[in-house]
Structure 1
Amino acid sequence: MLSPSATSTLAAATHGSGQGSALVGLSGELAATAHTIAQAAVVALIVTGVAAFYLLTCLVWPFGKCRRCHGEGKFKSPLGSAYRHCGRCRGSGLRLRLGRHVVNHIRATRGAGTNTVSKGNKK
């Protein structure tokens, strides 16, 4: 059996003394902060990758099915067998994807930003 003085010495050696425990607590907080920052960076990287993949997909396949007519381009009349064209897609059955709208906006903004008049030739 250990004496009380030996027990306190073991506790101080294994759990740290007053000054060492403050450093252990600080390093634990830094490790937790670094772990949280690393998780946020991984999530941001995944979200960026998914967005880039979606925009690439919209470059290859810019059109999707019209949501109103489900890609058919027409509606059957309620009385009989007559059809009418879908007003939203104008009978094509297609719609421009949201990502393609973003790509078109980026292209238009970049094209509008180019300067056709050089700085030396201003009139």
Structure 2
Amino acid sequence: MALILPAIALAAFITLCYAALCAASPFGRCRRCNGLGFALTTDRKGRPKRGKHCRRCNGHGIRIRTGRHIFHLATRIHTDGTRTTTPTTPTPKENLPWS
């Protein structure tokens, strides 16, 4: 029972630190290409050379962090749920004989 409070405090501290990191730097390096934007290959002599274009990050070398993605998703859901819509009144149509 005595270890529950410090564990909760530690979890809250880690969560707040990650939220601050996502607010300060919303993008991280791409895990597939390590932020280069392309894969490294070697030539026949063993020297590194530029490889194929990274399809995961589209060659930019950055990705959006998971916390920032969740924040954007929550913001979008909240905005869609609380958006006020003005009631539209149907416009009167003319009674034309050919329509």
TM-score, structure 1 length as denominator?
0.57
Instruction: Specify which structure has the bigger relative contact order, considering alpha-carbon pairs within 8 angstroms and separated by 6 or more residues.
Output: 2
1:66 Cα offset (Å): 0.7
The structure in which a higher percent of residues are helix is: 1
Structure 1 residue runs of 4 or more that deviate by more than 4 Å after TM superposition: 76-82
Alpha-carbon distance between aligned partners in 2 of 1:77 and 1:42, rounded to the nearest angstrom: 47
Task: Say whether the 8 Å CA contact 1:68–1:88 is kept in structure 2.
Answer: yes
After alignment, is 88-97 or 45-54 more displaced?
Answer: 45-54
Query: Which of structures 1 and 2 has the bigger CA Rg?
Result: 1
Matched pairs, number: 85
Flag structure 1 segments of 5+ consecutive residues without an equivalent: 1-35
Q: Percent identity?
A: 31
Partner residue, 1:114: 82
SS of corresponding position for 2:3: helix
The structure in which a higher percent of residues are strand is: 2
Flag structure 2 segments of 5+ consecutive residues without an equivalent: 90-99
The two structures, once aligned, show a CA RMSD in angstroms of 2.5
